[in-house]
Structure 1
Amino acid sequence: MSGSGIRVERDKETGVAVVTLDRAEKHNAVTLEMARTLAETWRGFRYEDEVRAIVVTGAGGRAFCTGIDRTAAAGVPQPSSPYTIDDPLIAIGPKANDLWKPVIAAVEGMACGGAFYLLGEAEFLVAGENAAFFDPHTAYGMVSAFETIHMAQRMPYGEVARMALMGTAERVSARRAYETGLVSELTAPGGALAAAREAAAVIAGYPTEAVQGTVRALWSAREATRAQALAHAPHLVTLGNLPPDRQAGLFTRRTTEYRTR
């Protein structure tokens, strides 16, 4: 499985599995193969009773995930209807695959754009102080719909609106993400995975039915609003995105200067 860009490790003693996006040289950008493997991995965990809690992280320390690999997704055909869109990342998260075992995200470095599909479906986030969160969509002529819907469940409205609308001009620091509730625990740089594994091991030690029932109850509290919002997302993306050639021009001209908040 590591050849697909996804690495899975299981600790039978603690009942914790670690899912690692293993494409550090590309900032763990997700290819189509990685997207398929992630979906298969989450579904597979449903049948592994020995896995009772999961940590998801990115390799290399420079990035948790920078979203979809645009070169890999460039040839994905799309329906002609403005009411539908095929999003390669829509099913990369655990909840999209009906997995109700607790998932903790361990974030180091950049987490942006499509990374929010994974972060939005984790129970909570642990981040190193070097982590930074941002959403580049608007800067490149694309609608941030799925990403903002996921983050709106975790951040105050003004914070997620600012992050989405400021695009590449601003990054939310790990400290600010902690202050606003997106991150539940801050660690020294490089310490997020160990802290997440420790928390996961505690949770995995509790009765499975109680843990999974609690996860499901937590999600039930917000699922109706989230489901309604996600139903509108494909239409908004189709109507609001610039044509690919104009997007490419913005990618070429856009500077890399930004500020961290």
Structure 2
Amino acid sequence: MTLRVERDEENGVAVVTLDRESRHNAVDLGTAAELAALWREFRFDEEVRAVVLTGAGTAAFCTGIDRSAQVPQPASPYSVDDPLVAIGPKANDLWKPVVAAVNGMACGGAFYLLGEAEFIVSATTATYFDPHTSYGMVSAYEAVYMAQRMPFGEVARMSLMGTAERLSARRAYEVGLVSELAEPGELLAAALRSARTLASFPTEGVQGTVRALWSAKQAALQQALAQAPALIALGNLPPERQAELFEGRRPGTDFRLR
């Protein structure tokens, strides 16, 4: 198991921890399957009324897909299989509130998870960035999810600048990606305060409000996500070339924090 789940049944909150600290909490195929199954399980667990999602350790919340993952692809240029599209709560029809507690680096595929959380509590030491363009890859799903949560210019800059820049927790808070900042040692407690409050309210009203909030943007989100496979198929360099760029650490690896 690569997830750690702790249930506070008295307060109706579950804490889900991505538990691959040695891999910066990157998501492999097993973790992707575990996440999807866990969200579906929570749909039927009446003792869980709110969720906190975080990463093990302090270095990273999640660094996206594990680069060692082997994902077979169909021959059709019109189809790209992405194992991360089903790792979020909304992709699994869970409408109980999820608070993300970002404890370190959040990059690339981490935005599949952050994009489907209700709001984000961030450690002051956390950073946010999207490395795709540096390695000859299209940021499609990630950019779309973040375009729902941040001003367009900020998303465009983060998506296009790749490894050259990282968004600081303070800047993420200023542009609205993050709703609360906490010192690293106080992060989980801050996220739990919010989750316990949500769990203390009548769950029908909370879940209905979550659903209403997402309905406000879901049509546009789904239309945008539908374009992602074709854009990735057209724009991504071949995997072997991506690997060369990754191993060579293209200019921009020495990032600038803003």
| Alignment-mate amino acid for residue 187 of structure 2 | A
- Kindly provide the amino acid, as one letter, of the partner of residue 188 in structure 1: E
1:160 and 2:155 matched? yes
Which consecutive segments of 4 or more residues in structure 1 shift more than 2 A? none
2:141 match:
146
Give 3-state SS (helix, strand or coil) of 1:70's partner: coil
Q: What is the aligned counterpart of 2:6 among 9, 19, 22? A: 9
Counterpart-to-counterpart distance in 1, 2:236 and 2:101:
31
Please give the secondary structure, in 2, of the residue aligned with 1:43. helix
Q: How far, CA to CA, are the matches of 2:163 and 2:73 in structure 1?
A: 26
Structure 2 CA distance, aligned partners of 1:240 and 1:191? 41
> TM-score, normalising length from structure 1?
0.97
Match of 1:192 in 2: 187
Normalised to the residue count of structure 2, the TM-score between the two structures is 0.98
Per-residue CA shift, 1:155-175, capped at 9, x if unaligned? 000000000000000000000
Alignment of 1:1-261 (within 5 A): 4-71=1-68, 73=69, 75-255=70-250, 256-261=253-258
- Which letter does structure 2 place at the counterpart of 1:13? E
Unaligned 5+ runs, structure 2 = none
CA distance in 2, matches of 1:192, 1:147: 24
For structure 1, the 5+ residue unaligned runs are none
Q: CA deviation at 1:189?
A: 2.0
Say what the alpha-carbon RMSD is for the aligned residues: 0.7
Count of aligned residue pairs for this structure pair: 256
Residue 50 of structure 1 aligns with an amino acid whose one-letter code is E
Measure how far apart 1:190 and its partner are.
Answer: 2.9
Letter in structure 2 aligned against 1:133: Y
SS in 1 for 2:178: coil
2: CA distance between counterparts of 1:144 and 1:222?
20
Could you tell me how far apart the structure 2 residues matched to 1:234 and 1:205 are? 40
Letter in 1 for 2:208: G
Q: Could you list the per-position Cα deviations for residues 22-64 of structure 1 after superposition, in whole angstroms to 9, with x for gaps in the alignment?
A: 0111110011000000000000000000100000000001100
